[in-house]
Amino acid sequence: MKTVSIITLGCKVNQVESEQIAEKLETYGFDVSMGLGISDIYVINTCAVTNEAERKSRNYIAKILKLNENAKIYVCGCSSENSPDKFKKGDFVVKVIGTKDKISLADSIKSNYNEIENILSSEYKTRVTSRTRADLFVQNGCNNFCTYCIIPYLRGRETSFPLNEIEKELKLLEPIANEIVITGINLSAYGKDIEGSDGLIEVARLFRNSSARFRFSSLEVNVITEKFLSELATFDNFCDQFHLSLQSGSNNTLKAMNRHYTKEEYLEKVNLIRKFFPNAGITTDIIVGFPTESEAGALETLDFIKQVNFSDMHIFPYSKRNGTAAEKLKNVAKNVANRVKEVTKVAEQMKSEFIGKNLGLTHEVIIENQKDGYYLAHTKNFILCYIKSNKKLESNQKLNVKLISAYADGAFAEIV
Ligand code: SF4
């Protein structure tokens, strides 16, 4: 049996698509593993979100050849859509495609190897993993054209998947994972291209009688409305963590980024979330050092993130992407490394305050894995718990814990 390693860089959408490729290859009889290992065949699912991500994507070719000089390599994803020629390095790279129809790589591999040893089913099946958390991919593409972002050029326009297909996929995921993350490239646009759709809440409604709890991957402010939140608040199995992209706390920078909201509107949405979900985890992404970000703009962002009081943040130094509108902007941002340090310091303080507020409270968690003698699990509002137990706990097991004290990047918790 031929072995295939699938290497995935970047976002959750890539992870989902890699799993789809893996699943199809398995039905064709290949022995598939995820990550870099010794195999006959490799699939690199690339990312182009930053220059660094593109460099890492390309470097995997050299890493693979060190492990197996006879490897056959297939490449797909945003970086190979952006610059396919940079991946066509020799005979060992058999095929390079972009972001469209990635699953067709499984057919290419099959026809190249004629290795149909064990066709389990012609029907698509979700990959069986022991993971606690599974991603439900419901939407592709983006029409927003934020000036720093290459994704709309690589992924194309917004497309929502039909609800009946999403429901079928959900049924396959439910027996595998007790937590499901609804994900998409611009998730908040779900339903815009479906006549009569109520939008993203329609996907949430599929979880009304689900055994799994669910959360959203990343949301834009436009989706946060009284109607959306009031309906979400009726679900016992909704995880009250909102990853609401901010990117900057300066209105001038937001405008230059082509983000369609002001910081005042953003704060209004955060307050609305807290009205319905008082203990919600509110997390975000920030880009530090956007070309037009002045010293005053950087300070404004620092003040604003304190005002919002995030529970956690992903902080990215600006990375210039060829082909984007921001590429042409004059760069006035200075001391970016220092700005990153300052934002990081504030983010760490806010995170520890959020954890502190949750000490003594009981939370539902789902066991993920083990580390240093602790079981690891996340609360619904996304606090990482370190749990000691004399009894063996199983991955994917749901239980209630009380948060005892802050520890590392989360909290010690005991079973109640
Ligand atoms: S919303 Fe903006 S940052 Fe997100 S994928 Fe679309 S263009 Fe890129």
pLDDT of 127? 43
Query: Which two three-digit tokens encode residue 377?
Result: 């699990």
- SS3 label, residue 185: coil
Q: Ligand 1 centre from 374 Cα, in Å?
A: 37
The encoded tokens of residue 378 equal: 């996340």
The secondary structure of residue 217, as a DSSP letter, is S
Q: CB within 8 A of 202, min separation 6: which ones?
A: 163, 190, 191
> For the chain, which residues make up each domain, given as ranges?
3-113, 133-356, 359-415
Read off the amino acid at residue 64: I
172 C-alpha vs ligand 1 centroid, how far in Å? 29
* pLDDT for the residue numbered 16: 85
Q: Which CATH class is domain 359-415?
A: mainly beta
Q: What 8-state DSSP symbol labels residue 202?
A: H
**282 CA to centre of ligand 1 in angstroms:** 19
Of all atoms in ligand 1, which is nearest to the CA of residue 155?
A: 5
* Domain 3-113: which CATH number of 3.40.50.1820, 3.40.50.12160, 3.40.50.720, 1.10.10.10: 3.40.50.12160
Q: Which residue carries 């991957």 as its tokens?
A: 217
Distance (angstroms) between ligand 1 centre and the Cα of 25 equals 31
Which of 49, 140, 142, when mutated, tests ligand 1's pocket best, judged by the most ligand atoms within 8 Å of its CB? 142
Q: Are 73 and 42 in contact (CB under 8 A)?
A: yes
Indicate which atom in ligand 1 lies nearest the CA of residue 150: 8
CA–CA separation, 288 vs 248, rounded Å?
A: 8
**Domain 133-356, what fold?**
pyruvate-formate lyase- activating enzyme (3.80.30)
For the entire predicted model, the pTM comes to: 0.81
pLDDT of residue 114: 58
pLDDT tens sequence for the chain (416 residues): 788 999 999 988 898 899 889 988 988 888 899 998 888 999 999 999 888 899 999 999 999 998 888 899 999 999 999 999 999 888 899 999 999 889 899 999 988 875 333 333 333 334 434 468 888 999 999 999 999 998 898 889 999 999 999 999 999 889 889 999 999 999 999 999 999 999 999 999 999 999 999 999 999 999 999 999 999 999 999 999 999 999 999 999 999 999 999 999 999 999 999 999 999 999 999 999 999 999 999 999 999 999 999 999 999 999 888 889 999 999 999 999 999 999 999 999 999 999 999 999 999 999 999 988 999 999 999 999 999 999 999 999 999 999 999 999 999 999 99
DSSP string, 110-168: HHHHT--S----SS--PPP---SEEEEEEEE------TT--HHHHH-S-EEPPHHHHHH
Q: Look up residue 168 and give its amino acid.
A: K
Instruction: Give all strands of the β-sheet with 159-160 in edge-to-edge order.
Output: 159-160, 133-140, 179-184, 213-216
